[in-house]
């Protein structure tokens, strides 16, 4: 049995079933197949092409709107890093066409503007899938796997920390191909945006708490589940992992992000929920912050 057939034969547990045995969901997916090791809770009830529409709107719309909001806030406080509003539109389109997240860049951007911009982008990335699950599906717990159990916390944090600690090993293996590069540069630049004190605390909170939740809802909650139903588990896992790594558009970090995404996707498929993946993502980011701030030489 191939991946696509296996995917189509699985059935999500029905939330509401009428007396005659019919279900009110547009799509029902069956019990897990042991040959693929996928949880019976892994699936999505939305009818096609709704998952694709929501995914595309969130993936491209969230960073674009965040960039425009950032530009408006900068002009409101009298900071104009661009000659015209049209330039931010051009930069955003250029970034999106390369797979980057569109963002306002320029000198002396206050950390509170960067924080608002980040929150807008994160909210628009994860918000639409949750809203559609509530209004058109079986809810975010069933459709997106947005559920946490107690063991997800220690297991997830341990997996995430281990993955981050193994990053230097990965880049040691890849050194003949990538050269001797500072893989912590992107993380260090992110923390430097806080400019010390409260600003760093805000950046850390966004990176460690907000990003793991919102990105897991979108990538492993919506995209992976929808792709698995359409293309089977193997293609879905590979495709979603590549998309996740490209979304951050950090070429040097691409190998580590790709490996992390495969691990997070595998966890989400096998557990049928996002809890472990969220805390693994959180542990990965938190360990990076600790290493950059406390042991800067380890990742360089």
| Residue 183 pLDDT class (50, 70, 90 cuts) | low
Give the pLDDT of residue 9: 44
8 A C-beta contact, residue 41 and residue 275: no
More confident residue, 286 or 294: 286
Q: How many domains does the chain have?
A: 1
Percent of the chain with pLDDT over 90: 51
Q: What are the φ and ψ backbone dihedral angles of 156, each rounded to 5 degrees? A: -65, -45
**Mean pLDDT over the full length of the chain:** 80
Domain range for 90 is 3-299
More confident residue, 95 or 217: 217
pTM of the model: 0.80
Nearest to 1 by CA among 34, 41, 43: 34
- The H or E element that residue 300 is part of is none
pLDDT tens track for 89-121: 555 555 444 444 445 455 577 888 889 999 999
8 A C-beta contact, residue 261 and residue 219: yes
């Amino acid at each position: 049995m191939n991946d696509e057939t296996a995917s189509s034969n699985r059935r999500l547990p029905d939330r509401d079933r009428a007396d005659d045995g019919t279900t009110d969901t547009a799509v029902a997916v069956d019990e897990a197949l042991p040959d693929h090791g996928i949880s019976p809770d892994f699936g999505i009830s939305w009818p096609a092409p709704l998952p694709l529409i929501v995914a595309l709107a969130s993936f491209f719309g969230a960073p674009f709107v965040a960039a425009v909001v950032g530009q408006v806030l900068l002009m409101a406080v009298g900071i104009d890093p661009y000659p015209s509003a049209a330039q931010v539109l051009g930069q955003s389109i250029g970034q999106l066409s390369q797979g980057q997240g569109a963002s306002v860049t320029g000198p002396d951007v206050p950390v509170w503007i960067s924080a608002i911009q980040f929150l807008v982008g994160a909210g628009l990335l994860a918000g639409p899938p949750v809203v559609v699950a509530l209004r058109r599906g079986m809810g975010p717990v069933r459709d997106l796997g947005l559920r946490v159990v107690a063991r997800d916390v220690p297991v997830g944090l341990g997996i995430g920390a281990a993955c981050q600690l193994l990053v230097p090993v990965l880049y040691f293996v890849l050194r003949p191909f990538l050269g001797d590069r500072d893989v912590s540069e992107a993380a260090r630049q992110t923390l430097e945006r806080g400019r010390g004190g409260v600003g760093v605390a805000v950046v850390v909170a966004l990176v460690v708490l907000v990003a793991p939740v919102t990105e897991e809802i979108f990538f492993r909650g919506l995209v992976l589940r929808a792709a698995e139903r359409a293309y089977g588990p193997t293609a879905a896992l590979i495709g979603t992992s590549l998309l996740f790594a490209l979304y951050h558009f950090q070429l040097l970090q691409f190998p580590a992000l790709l490996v992390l995404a495969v691990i997070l996707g595998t966890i989400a498929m096998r557990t049928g929920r996002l809890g472990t993946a969220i805390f693994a993502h959180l542990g990965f980011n938190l360990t990076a912050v600790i290493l950059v701030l406390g042991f800067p030489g380890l990742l360089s």
